[in-house]
């Protein structure tokens, strides 16, 4: 893992998670553990309305955590509308220590790596049922209230799990912008590493 990312991870691992949040995360832990116990691949699709901030953070940190704990998992993200992976969230991921390469366009693709030899995490804004998403049964992890409340059916999802996060968008173009994006990213990192750290192989 890249040195700067290791520093961020150490900070994430030190964060305490409230019992109320652990209760929410327990459903995701149980789903992953069930897949591991039955020797099935873990497929997670993190869903938020625009697939621009929280769902992207979640996909990246969950995939990184799965690799860190050597869990056979593939993490996706999607939305109910296509926009772009928000540039503020991309900047936060870079500040965390990920290596990010960009393939331009209106809705750019980002190639994210957590180490020199890691498989790239390909991220861009897309619908939850985009051709790149899981086709086999997966867990739909709803990361925002709007998508959770306005998208009652996720085809092919065998499990729907609400793990909602506050949107850092509220702080766009304010002096707190960077700090709030990094705070949300770190919270998601902490919780995804907690989740995968509970899995017994």
pTM of the model: 0.95
> Hey, what are 138's tokens?
């997966």
Q: How far apart are CA 85 and CA 27, in angstroms?
A: 27
Mapped onto helix, strand or coil, the DSSP state of residue 95 is helix
Q: Is the pLDDT reported for residue 151 higher than 70?
A: no
Q: What is the pLDDT of residue 23?
A: 96
Q: What is the pLDDT of residue 130?
A: 81
Mapped onto helix, strand or coil, the DSSP state of residue 155 is coil
Q: What is the pLDDT of residue 129?
A: 83
Distances (CA, A) of 122 to 76, 85, 162: 9, 11, 23
Extents of the domains making up the chain: 3-13+20-197
pLDDT classification of 105: cutoffs 50, 70, 90: confident
Taken in order 110, 73, 32, 64, is the CA torsion positive or negative?
Answer: negative
CATH 3.40.50.720 fits 3-13+20-197, yes or no: no
Q: Tell me: the pLDDT tens digits for 20-76?
A: 999 999 999 999 999 999 999 999 999 998 999 999 999 999 999 999 999 999 999
The answer for residues whose C-beta is within 8 angstroms of residue 195's C-beta and 6 or more apart is 25, 28, 29, 32, 62, 65
């Amino acid at each position: 893992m890249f040195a700067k990312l290791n520093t961020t991870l150490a900070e994430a691992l030190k964060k305490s998670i409230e019992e109320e949040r652990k209760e929410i995360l327990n459903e995701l832990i149980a789903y992953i553990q069930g897949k591991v116990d039955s020797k099935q691949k873990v497929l997670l699709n993190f869903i938020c309305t625009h697939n621009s901030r929280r769902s992207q953070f979640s996909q990246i940190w969950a995939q990184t955590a799965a690799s860190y704990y050597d869990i056979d998992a593939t993490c996706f993200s999607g939305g109910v509308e296509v926009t772009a992976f928000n540039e503020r969230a991309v900047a936060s991921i870079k500040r965390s220590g990920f290596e990010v390469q960009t393939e331009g366009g209106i809705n750019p693709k980002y190639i994210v790596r957590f180490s020199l030899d890691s498989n790239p995490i390909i991220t861009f804004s897309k619908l939850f049922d985009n051709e790149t998403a899981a086709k086999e049964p997966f867990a739909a992890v709803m990361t925002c209230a709007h998508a959770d409340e306005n998208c009652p059916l996720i085809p092919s999802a065998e499990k729907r799990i609400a793990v909602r996060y506050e949107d850092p968008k509220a702080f766009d173009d304010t002096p707190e912008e960077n700090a709030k994006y990094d705070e949300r990213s770190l919270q998601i990192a902490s919780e995804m590493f907690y989740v995968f750290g509970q899995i017994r192989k």
